[in-house]
Structure 1
Amino acid sequence: MAGRIRAFDWSQTELGPLDTWPASLCSTVQLMLASPLPMVMLWGRSGYMIYNDAYSIFAGGRHPYLLGAPVEMGWPEVAEFNRHVVDTCLAGGTLSYRNKVLELLRDGVPEDVWLDLYYSPVANDDGKPAGVMAMVVETTEHVISERRRQAAEDAYRADNERVRLALNAGALLGSFVWDIKGNVLSGDERFARTFSYPPEQNLADLPTDIAEAQIHPDDRSWVQEQVNQSVETGDPFNAEYRVLRPDGSYLWVQASGCCEFNEQGEPFRFPGVLIDIHERKTAEESLLKFTRNLEQRVADEVEARLAAEEQLRQSQKLEAIGGLTGGVAHDFNNLLQVIAGNLHLLARHEPDNANVQRRVSASIAAVERGAKLSSQLLAFARRQPLSPAVCDPRQIFDGLGELLQRALGETIQINVSAPDDSWRLYVDRNQLENAILNLAINARDAMQGEGTIGLSAENIVLDRKFCAGKGITAGDYIRVSVTDTGVGMSPQVLAQAFEPFFTTKADGQGTGLGLSMVFGFVKQSGGHIEMSSVVGEGTRVQLYFPRSLRAMPSETPNPDAQQRGGHETILVVEDNEAVRVSAVELLSEEGYQVLTAGNADVAMQMLLDGVTVDLIFTDVVMPGLIKSSDLAAWAKVQTPPVAVLFTSGHTRDIISRNHQLSPDTYLLSKPYGPEALTQMVRTVLNG
């Protein structure tokens, strides 16, 4: 770190060139660099950061960009906390925290981190506080370890309590003593009860014939043989056998004891205990029954594994293709946004030029077709941002009925079925409707425009055998099926059906992305898709979605249409200059005051310098130290919070989990037009 500090251009900060630093600062930095503990110096009111090697490890991916940066910009998610630290220490105070929990962004994801923090002022050459020395020791592992240790101790105490209760309740069925010389059997009440002796029977004189009669006929000779061997040799007695119960069933017990001999070496006494082993024997019998068909089970497992490996290979192939197509779609969307934005601006600037309007309309239509193609690519790549909600399959079918009939034509009959007690599912309803529509159109084409399409939903429970190798877990699912009676597919065609750009249609009649999009959407929604087909008989596509136990959302009336423009101030954060310029012009024409920033670093500095805005309109993926998600996290904790609207051609999970947006996250996908931009901006501002 000493080398990095010397190489850094400090003249751009309030500290000035390194050779002008006060002696007090230089000596403090030297002490800090020699320390093995993570330490960071926050110098001046802005808290410019100078730190040692141990702190660079704690900083992770933010190193070396934190060096020389103001602390509030380097750690925007805890800017308020650090502001308090700097103000307190520059006033001469000290602060310390033990196992302080802070929510820090690591790889763009909020994460609780526990820290021991010690802050003290550092004086300049005049003896006045000019900086803050911070010692930062992460204790996350220690805190989690302590919690696990406490949980283990609690579990240990609970186990001890269970053991104590078990001993009190006990599996012990009683004890007995056989007086060999007098052939007299005695025992306690539990022993007598186990062998169904009469309640009034003297416990010191228990007839042996009653006990022998209660033993299962198949076990009597075995028990007697064990008794004789123990009496003759002195070996410990251990015999497992069945005892008749009053209800006619048998109880498995284990009798254990040892023959005692007198001084003359003659057997005279045989004490022992009786233990309940019924549960263990029942389990052993079940296991034996289970393993009798071991060879068949092994064969089934081998077959299932081979099928799972084939599923995995197919999934890996589609995943690799998806990664490529997702990246292409992202760059493609940026290009389309530049084209679309300028076309819309051109149309507005030449309202009376018929030739311009005609050509712009044709070009915008082409852009829309390109956007649809890009959307299908992102759907297959599982990179499209989803907005899932709880819904009922019957509602989806009811809403699709008219649209399907209009899209398929009057010569196609649609049979719809769904149970009255249909389970709920948690999916993006619009995407599911698009998937069903795609499958229905494929079915219509396979039947050459005439026939019957079946659309059904059913509740189904999937076992582990079915789920093996499919990327889903056993449990409750809703199966949505689309069937047709068309020409069907050969096994070779069926094997490639989900691959992007694969189609059996004539040139110009299909992109080969319909089934790919359905495949990607189902997988991204945590489900599974299967297709079966027989040449000349038709095709069945089955979509499996996990059952949701969440409550259905309450119906709310649609809000009134929002006004087109406004007077608010909007900060546009976009690294692509062409996209940024077109967005600024579109917003300016609607009456908004527009500020710009080339990335989130510049935007954050503007905001920390006091620039006031009503909305941050930011691209998701940009270069720089600060991510768009960091910018949004800072905006959320302001008073009042600053509204944020994201835009992207491909979110890369920076603002989403598995590309599923949270309800409070607003995203405008590229390419967008003026109407979509205006409507979304007003929605976010008014929300």
Structure 2
Amino acid sequence: MQFLSNTHGCDGWGGEMAQRIRAFDWSNTDLGSIDSWSTSLTCAVQMLLASPVPMVMLWGRAGYMIYNDSYSVFAGGRHPSLLGMPVEQGWPEVADFNRHVMSTCLAGGTLSYRNKALTLLRNGQPEDLWLDLYYSPVAGDDQQPAGVLAIVVETTAHVLSERLRQEAEGAYRVADERLQLALNAGALLGSFVWDVLPDRLSGDERFARTLGLSMDDVEQGLPIATATEIIHPDDLVRVSRLIARTLEAGGSYNVEFRVRRPDASYLWVLASGRCELDAQGQPLRFPGVIIDIHVRKIAEESLLKLTHNLEQRVAAEVQARSAAEGQLRQSQKLEAIGGLTGGVAHDFNNLLQVIAGNLHLLARHERDNPQVQRRVGAALAAVERGAKLSSQLLAFARRQPLSPAVFNPRRIYEGLGELLQRALGETIQIDVQLPQDPWCIHVDRNQLENAVLNLAINARDAMKGEGVIRITGENITLSPEEGSRNGIAPGEYVRLSVSDTGAGMSPAVLRRVFEPFFTTKPDGHGTGLGLSMVFGFVKQSGGHVQVSSEPGQGTVVQMYFPHSLEPESEEAPAQVMLQEGGRETILVVEDNQGVRAAAVELLQQAGYTVLTAEDGDDAMLMLRTGLRPDLIFTDVVMPGRFKSTDLAEWAKVQQPPVAVLFTSGHTRDVLSSNHQLGADIHLLGKPYSPDALAQRVRSVLNARN
């Protein structure tokens, strides 16, 4: 597992849990040392670390727990003690349940639960939880079930909301029953009779009390307009329209509205009656009753509000889950491609090194043969193009070695502006908008400049060589909601954007924009690796990249880099040309015979005494039997028990310390986390030239003094 060691083929991952898994002493468990983990286990753990959904792996018969960052949040106070613990010990309150899960899934079965009720002690106190649980067996290298993958989605909030909704519906039914009882039992607010032609409205005592009128006025009769004065203004038009319609057609009349009470509050009532017509169809009398429906209406309003809120929450949850699933699928797709391209680039670099080393040796041997020199030069130019292609593949796979430092974005652009203008041409205008006081970011400056240059060249091509390219920087703070919407952790970021007014991209093109070798340019006008390199670099730097585009509307590429609170790094002093040769003794440790032979001859031609070892085991045996070289020049990734880092540790404790220079086409996180090299680590990437080898060897040897 490349986030743990250099022995397997899964890609590397960052995050708190990846670091904790690397640091955990697994040799005390049945899983054994992390270096001995099976391919199936390492790849399964790598998958769950990439997932935004809470996931936990229960490995072996005991169900040793290995989980991701989202599950650590779910675990609450139980985290991080759950890591590496058998599941029955980790959650003793549900031991029987987990025992059933393990026995079922290790026998090849699967289990799933919807809104499973469990009582867990996540923070020292019993909590009633509801969970969606999915358990599936995970096959070991022998294709037999070796572990159980559990997906844990807490649905407590949804269950409690559903209960509230059901309670509100119950209240609505009770209120409706009360209304029926009121109608049947005569629990009325009064009765009335409206003689339509003389416009005389009369009623009983309860009716007078409801309208806030004196009994004398009601007995004598009032104009209908007096009674309608107490109707709520928002209901008056609707009530008046229904009265007019009933007067015209006759028949029954039922309407709900609010009336103003003497204390200025409003009461929901139901007016129910019937309009009687004469032989000519003219309205005569309009008797009816007023019924109190206030309790029912309040219950209905509460139910409607609760239902609306519940619908919004369900829609938001469905949208968030759908977005998370889409991001996970895209992430898994790019990770799979990255794992393949990274491995290919590593082997490709070794081949290029053999070719380049022998070409350089041939050129030196045939100095006076112009035909040989011309053909060697052409071949070396092809090697350089291949090396650039390999470098771009490693960038996409997030396996390029980085040398990050803390920079102010303004300082980065000051050194990039002239280069951009030369690369883009005079017909392109560059509009740069950076804040006066931008936050600092922790990045590899050279790689960031390459990323901006790639994006600017893409923008120029999209505008067919004419127009304005805008490069903007912003200090932004993403809320949890914005972070979830953008698929990025909330917090403070510097957002660097490159935008154009070119042809734009269709949704189908946009979905594939980060895939290596995917391009819409004509043959010979691009490799399709520019955006892939940008994607890999930003992700490897702990950031996030987004592309938004529509046909005919141009394209905007946004790179998010976390705000660094560290002080800005000092400018590195200019490199002084060093003497290329020497007489020291160098131990070359390289498992590839072709690479080793070329490196030995190049170093010998520079005057060094050279000894060789085929792998770390061979080298360590030589060192422990008394060999004391001045420098160890070692490949990073080699077979055998002893790794290149073991040789470096041996060299560090010698008196005086022995210098170490690493070389690799792909470091696989052996030297550091996420390929970010420390100041004390010297790395020469493959393929390298004789001059680069001589300069770097001399530099590392001189640094000892």
Indicate whether the TM-score tops 0.5. Answer: yes
Partner of 2:311: 295
Which residue of 2 is the match for residue 270 of structure 1?
none
Q: Matched residues in 2 for 1:141 and 1:501: separation?
A: 41
Write the letter of the residue equivalent to 2:518. F
SS at match of 1:356: helix
Q: Report matched runs for 1:317-396 at 5 Å.
A: 317-396=333-412
Deviations 1:395-452 (A, max 9, x none): 1111110100000000000001111110000011111110110000000000000000
Q: Secondary structure at the match of 1:682?
A: helix
Deviations 1:616-663 (A, max 9, x none): 100011111101111111111111111111111111111120121122
- Determine the structure 2 residue equivalent to 1:600: 616
Paired with 1:624 and 1:536, the residues of 2 have a C-alpha distance of: 57
Preserved contact between residue 439 and residue 564 of structure 2 (Cα < 8 Å) = yes
Name 2:501's counterpart in structure 1: 485
Q: What SS does the corresponding residue of 2:672 show, helix, strand or coil?
A: coil
Look up the SS of the partner of 1:468 in the other structure. helix
Shift of 1:293: 3.6
Q: Return the alpha-carbon distance in structure 2 between the equivalents of residues 471 and 296 of structure 1.
A: 21
Are 1:312 and 2:312 counterparts? no
Distance 1:593-1:470 versus aligned 2 partners, 3 A rule: farther
| Aligned-residue offset at 1:471 | 6.0
Match of 2:696 in 1: 680
User: Given that residues 382 and 521 in structure 1 are in contact (C-alpha distance below 8 angstroms), is that contact kept between their aligned partners in structure 2?
Assistant: yes
Task: Tell me the equivalent position of 1:636.
Answer: 652
Matches within 5 A, 1:250-261: none
Partner residue, 1:653: 669
- The Cα offsets for residues 171-205 of structure 1, whole Å up to 9 and x where unpaired, read as xxxxxxxxxxxxxxxxxxxxxxxxxxxxxxxxxxx
CA positional deviation for 1:560: 2.4
Q: 2:458 — aligned with what?
A: 442
SS at 1:461's partner residue? strand
Mapping 1:235-274, distance limit 5 Å: none
Q: In the TM superposition, what are the counterparts of 1:209-224 in structure 2 within 5 Å?
A: none
2:553 corresponds to 1:537 = yes
In the alignment, the residues of structure 1 paired with residue 620 and residue 318 of structure 2 have an alpha-carbon distance, to the nearest angstrom, of 57
Secondary structure of 1:310's aligned partner: helix
Unaligned 5+ segments in structure 2 are: 1-26, 37-82, 86-122, 125-304
What amino acid sits opposite 1:386 in the alignment?
A: L
Quote the Cα distance in structure 1 between the aligned partners of 2:625 and 2:487: 49
Give the 3 Å change call, closer, same or farther, for CA 469–364 of structure 1 in structure 2. farther
Q: Is the 8 A contact 1:484 1:540 kept in 2?
A: yes
Q: Which residue of 1 aligns with 2:542?
A: 526
2:29–2:84 contact (8 Å) kept in structure 1? no
The amino acid across from 1:501 in the alignment is F
Report the CA distance between 1:59 and its aligned residue: 8.3
Q: Distance in 2 between matches of 1:576 and 1:609?
A: 24
Q: Give 2:571's aligned residue.
A: 555
Pick closer, same or farther for the CA change 1:338–1:474 going to 2, 3 Å: same
Q: In structure 2, do the counterparts of structure 1 residues 453 and 596 end up closer, same or farther at CA, with 3 Å as the change threshold?
A: same
Q: Would the aligned equivalents of 1:392 and 1:423 in 2 still touch at CA under 8 Å?
A: yes
Alpha-carbon distance between aligned partners in 2 of 1:317 and 1:429, rounded to the nearest angstrom: 28
The alpha carbon displacement at 1:557 in A equals: 3.0
Code of the residue aligned with 1:322 in structure 2: it is: G
- Matched AA of 2:632: I
* In structure 2, C-alpha distance between the alignment counterparts of 1:678 and 1:685, rounded to whole Å: 11
Which amino acid is 2:515 matched to?
A: E
CA distance, structure 1, for counterparts of residue 636 and residue 628 of structure 2: 21
CA shift at 1:466, angstroms?
A: 2.7
Residues 411 and 293 (structure 1), Cα distance of their counterparts in 2 relative to 1, 3 Å cut: same
Choose the corresponding residue for 2:590, options 535, 550, 574: 574
- Measured against aligned partners, the alpha-carbon deviations of 1:322-353 in whole angstroms (never above 9, x if no partner) come to 10111111110000000000011111111111
For residues 647 and 454 of structure 1, the distance between their equivalents in structure 2, rounded to whole angstroms, comes to 39
Question: Offset at 1:301?
Answer: 2.6
Deviation per CA, 1:534-571: give whole Å up to 9, x if none.
Answer: 21121000000101111112235324221111111110
Over 3 Å counting, the alpha-carbon distance change for 1:56 and 1:464 in structure 2 is: closer
Counterparts in 2 of 1:391-406, with a 5 A limit?
391-406=407-422
Note closer, same or farther for the CA distance 1:559–1:672 as it changes in structure 2 (3 Å cut): closer
Query: SS at the partner of 2:628?
Result: coil
CA change 1:61–1:516 in 2 (3 A) is: closer
Equivalent residue number for residue 426 of structure 1 = 442
Shift of 1:141: 10
- Paired residues of 1:620 and 1:628 also in contact (CA < 8 A): yes
When residues 328 and 470 of structure 1 are mapped into structure 2, their CA distance, relative to the original with a 3 A threshold, is farther
Counterpart position of 2:637? 621
**Mapped partners of 2:483, 2:306: distance in 1:** 22
Q: Whole-Å Cα distance in 2 between the matches of residues 561 and 291 of structure 1?
A: 75
The aligned amino acid for 2:569 is: P
SS at match of 2:468: strand
Normalising by structure 1, we get a TM-score of: 0.58
Task: Please give the alpha-carbon distance, in whole angstroms, between the structure 2 residues aligned to 1:55 and 1:303.
Answer: 43
CA distance in structure 1 between the aligned counterparts of 2:366 and 2:308, rounded to whole angstroms: 84
Give the counterpart letter for 2:571 in structure 1. Answer: E
Q: CA RMSD in A?
A: 2.5
Q: Is the 8 A contact 1:312 1:469 kept in 2?
A: no
SS in 2 for 1:454: strand
Answer yes or no: is the 8 Å Cα contact 1:385–1:660 preserved in 2.
Answer: yes
2:602 is aligned to: 586
Q: Aligned residues, how many?
A: 414
- Contact kept, 8 Å, 1:333 with 1:670, in 2: the verdict is yes
Further displaced range: 556-565 or 588-597 = 556-565
User: Conserved in 1, the CA contact under 8 Å of 2:324 and 2:487?
Assistant: no
Contact 1:311-1:470 within 8 A present in 2 as well: no
Normalising by structure 2, what TM-score?
A: 0.56
1:458 to 460, 474, 489: 474
Matches within 5 A, 1:37-48: none
Alignment match, 1:45: none
Deviation of the 1:675 alpha carbon: 1.2
Q: Which amino acid counterpart does residue 565 of structure 2 have in structure 1?
A: L
Matched with 2:103 is none
Name the aligned partner's letter for residue 649 of structure 1: G
Does 1:669 find its partner at 2:699?
no
- Separation in structure 1 between the aligned mates of residue 559 and residue 609 of structure 2, nearest angstrom: 48
